[in-house]
A and B are shown apart, each in its own frame.
Chain A
Amino acid sequence: MMMKKYRLDPAKGLEFGLYTLGDHLANPYTGDRISAQKRLQEIIEMAKLAEQAGLDFFSVGESHQEYFATQAHSVVLAAIAQATSKIKIGSSSTIISTSDPVRVYEDFATIDLISDGRCEIICGRASRVGLFELLGYNLRDYEELFEEKFDLLLKINEEEVINWSGEFRAPLKNAKVIPRPKNGYLPIWRAVGGTPASAIKAGYAGVPMFMAHLGGPASVFKRTIDAYREAAREGGHDPSKLPVATAGFFYVAETTQEALKEYYPHINEGMKRTNGRGFPKQLWAQGADTRSIMNVGSPQQIIEKILYQHEMFGHQRYIAQLDFGGVPFDKIRKNIEIIGTEILPAIRKYTAKKEGETK
C-alpha cells in the first residue's frame, strides 16, 4: 500500500480516532474539578473504551501550564500502551522545541516496543509558551528550536547511526539512538494550525501533516491542505504518498441542538482558562451547518459532515476532541459508544474502497 510507511491503508477508509489535550478543568455545570490522578485514570480508561468501540487511534497532548494534567504525556502513553492491544497511539502533540529529540525518540521507540508497533509522534510548537521559561529556553528561538529539533528527530528516525550538529544541542558523532522501533521506523507527523504558512513547511519537507481546526467552514481548511500538497510537489515529494489528518471538536447527542447546547459551556469556559478567550456564540451556532468544520451534532449530522470533509480533503484520518473542558465521564462514554455503533460503521462503509476500485 502507498502509505504503508505510515501504517495507513487508505483502502480501508478514513481512520477515526480520539485525542485529548490532557486538560484538567472543572465541569462548568457543577463547578467541580476531579483530581489530577482521577483525570489521568479517566484518560487511560477513555483509550480502552476507544479500542473497544473499534476506533483506530488515540493520542495525548503535552501542555505544561495550569489546567493540564498530561505534562508527562509519554508516560501516560506508556500506560495506555499497556492497557490496550490493538488501537494505534500517539502524541498530540509533543513539543519537540523544548525537549531533546534523542530522549523523545528513545521514549517513543520504547512505547512502540511495549505496544507491539502501535506508536506514532505528532510534533507541535506549542500555542502557549510558559514551558519555554519552565524548561529553560528562550522564547525568541521559538521557530528555530522547533525546526532544528524536528529535523533532528526525523533524522534519528531515518538513520540508525547519527552524525549531526546544530545550535541548540550538543553534536552527535556516530551516535546510535536505541532502542529502534518495532518496524525500524515511527510515523512522525507535523502538527499544523489552520493557516497555510506552517502547512507549507510540512509539505516542502515531505512530512505527514496533522491539521488542527476550531470552527469555520471546512472549505477554508481545504486551502491549507491544498497548500500542503502543492508545497510537497514543489519539494519533490509525491503528495499522494503523504498522509493528511485533521483534528477538532466533536460532540454527539440525540439532536444537533442538544449537542451544541450541551458542549458549549465546556468549550467556552475551557478556552477562557486555557487560551484566554471564550468561543464566540455566533461561530458555535454556525456549527449546526453541514459545511462547518465542527463535528458537533446528531449522529446523522456528524456522519454527513465527516463524509463531506473527506470528499473535500481526501484525508486519511480524523481525530475527535470530545473531552475538553471537564466533560463528565458518563458523557465521554456515551459519545464513544455512539461513535462505535452508529458513526464509525457509516464512515467506513462510505469511505472504504470497494473491490476492484482504483481511486
Chain B
Amino acid sequence: MKIVGISGSIVGSKTRTAMDVTIKILKEKYPHIDVTLLDLADFQIQFSDGRNYLDYEGDTKYVAQTVMDADALILGTPIFQASIPATLKNIFDLLPEKAFQDKVVSMVVTAGSAKHFLIPEQQLKPILSYMKAQIVQTYVYIEEKDFFRKAIVNDDILFRLERLVEDTVMLTETFAKIREAAYDF
C-alpha cells in the first residue's frame, strides 16, 4: 500500500509541522506501508494547462505521478482567504477528472482560528467527491493556539491525528478487499 501526504502550501510552517507529525504516526504504526510526503514548497510546479498529466515534465510530472500512484492521500492544507490555497487547487487541476477513484483521501487542516472550520467541509470535500475520492469524513482541524514553535502542543489534536491515520489505513485496506472480493478479474 502506498500513502502519499501532501503539504499543500508554499507559505509558512504549520501545515508542514502537522503533516510531519501525521507522517511520523503513520510510519511508526504501520511500518510496512510505503509513505511519501510531498511538500509543495519543495517543488517548482507549473499551472495546469489542461494537458494529460503524463505530458508534463520535471517536478510537475513527478508530483502528479506520485499522487496518481497512491492508494491513499492525506491532504494537509491551510486556509487562505476563506478557501484552500491555489497551490493545492492546482494539484487537483493537473489531474484527470476521476483521479481519486478507488483512492481514500483524508484531510488535515490548519487555520488561524476556529472561524474557518467549515471551509474544508464546503469547499474541499466537494472537489474530492467530484474526483471520486473515498473521503474520510472526519478531518482534523488545527488552530494557531495548538502550535508552539513548530510542534503541536495540544494532546487532543495528537489523539485525533492518530485516529485519522488509523481511519485512513483501515478504509484503504477495506475498500481494496471489497474490490478484490467483488470481481474475479
A residues whose Cβ falls under 8 Å from a Cβ of B: 65, 127-130, 139, 257, 260-261, 264-265, 275-277, 280-281, 284-285
Q: Please determine whether B51 and A281 come into contact, CB atoms closer than 8 angstroms.
A: no
Write the B86-108 contact mask toward A (1 if CB under 8 angstroms, else 0): 00000000001011011000000
Known A-B contacts: A139-B49, A275-B52, A285-B182. Give 17 more (CB < 8 A).
A128-B51, A128-B55, A129-B51, A129-B52, A257-B184, A260-B185, A261-B184, A261-B185, A275-B54, A276-B53, A276-B68, A276-B96, A277-B101, A280-B98, A280-B101, A280-B102, A281-B183
Contact B183 A285 (CB under 8 A): yes
Interface size in chain B (residues, C-beta < 8 A): 17
Give B65 Cβ to nearest chain A Cβ, in Å. 8
Q: Select one of B52, B68, B99, B185 contacting A128, CB under 8 A.
A: B52
Given the complex of chains A and B, what is the CA–CA distance between A139 and B56 in angstroms? 12
User: What are 16 A-B contacts defined by CB distance under 8 Å?
Assistant: A127-B52, A128-B52, A129-B51, A129-B55, A139-B51, A261-B185, A264-B185, A265-B185, A275-B52, A277-B68, A277-B96, A277-B101, A281-B179, A281-B183, A281-B185, A284-B185
Is A277 in contact with B99, judged by CB distance below 8 angstroms?
yes
- B contact set with A: CB distance below 8 Å: 49, 51-55, 68, 96, 98-99, 101-102, 179, 182-185
Smallest CB–CB gap between A68 and chain B, Å? Answer: 12
Taking a contact as CB atoms closer than 8 A, the residue among B53, B54, B182 that contacts A281 in the complex is: B182
Give min CB distance, A348 to chain B, whole Å: 31
A72 to chain B minimum Cβ distance, whole angstroms, is 21
Closest to A142 in B: B50
Distance between A268 CB and nearest chain B CB, rounded to angstroms: 9
* Beta-carbon contact of B55 and A130 below 8 Å: yes
A276 to B, closest residue via Cβ:
B54
Residues of A close to B184: CB separation below 8 A = 257, 261
**Distance, CA A65 to CA B51, complexed state (A):** 14
- CA A130 – CA B54 in complex, angstroms? 9
Determine the chain B residues whose CB is within 8 A of the CB of A260 once the complex forms: 185
A277 and B51 form a contact (CB under 8 A):
no
* Cα-based distance from A200 to B40 in the complex (angstroms): 41
List A contacts of B54 (CB < 8 A).
65, 128, 275-276
Residues of A within 8 A of B99 (CB): 277
CA distance A284 to B184 in the complex (A): 11
Query: How far is it, in angstroms, between the C-alpha of A285 and the C-alpha of B179 when the chains are bound?
Result: 11
CB distance from A308 to the nearest CB of B (A): 23
In whole angstroms, how far apart are the Cα atoms of A128 and B54 in the complex?
8
Shortest Cβ distance from B66 into chain A, in angstroms? 13
Given the complex of chains A and B, what is the CA–CA distance between A260 and B183 in angstroms?
10
Report Cα–Cα, A276/B101, bound state, in Å.
Answer: 13
- Cα-based distance from A290 to B96 in the complex (angstroms): 28
A275 to B51, CA, bound (A): 11
User: Using Cβ atoms and an 8 Å threshold, which residues of chain B touch A128?
Assistant: 51-52, 54-55
Which residues of chain B are near A261, meaning CB under 8 Å?
184-185
A264 to B185, CA, bound (A): 7
Chain B residues closer than 8 Å to A129, beta-carbon distance: 51-52, 55
Report chain B residues within 8 Å CB of A284: 183, 185
Which residues of the partner chain B approach A277 to less than 8 Å between Cβ atoms? 68, 96, 98-99, 101
Contacts of B51 in A (CB 8 A): 128-129, 139
Closest residue on chain A to residue B64 by CB atoms: A276
Q: Which residues of A contact B68 (CB under 8 A)?
A: 276-277
Nearest CB of chain B from residue A186's CB, rounded to whole Å: 30
**Docked pose: A127 CA to B55 CA in angstroms:** 11
- Of B54, B99, B183, which is in contact with the most chain A CB atoms at under 10 Å from its CB? B54
Please provide the 6 A-B residue pairs with the shortest distance between their CB atoms, ordered closest to farther. A261-B185, A264-B185, A276-B54, A129-B51, A281-B183, A130-B55
CB distance from A251 to the nearest CB of B (A): 12
Q: Specify which of B49, B52, B101, B179 lies most central, judged by the most chain A CB atoms within 10 Å of its CB.
A: B52
| CA distance in complex: A265, B51 (Å) | 26
The residue in chain A whose Cβ has the minimal distance to the Cβ of B102 is A280
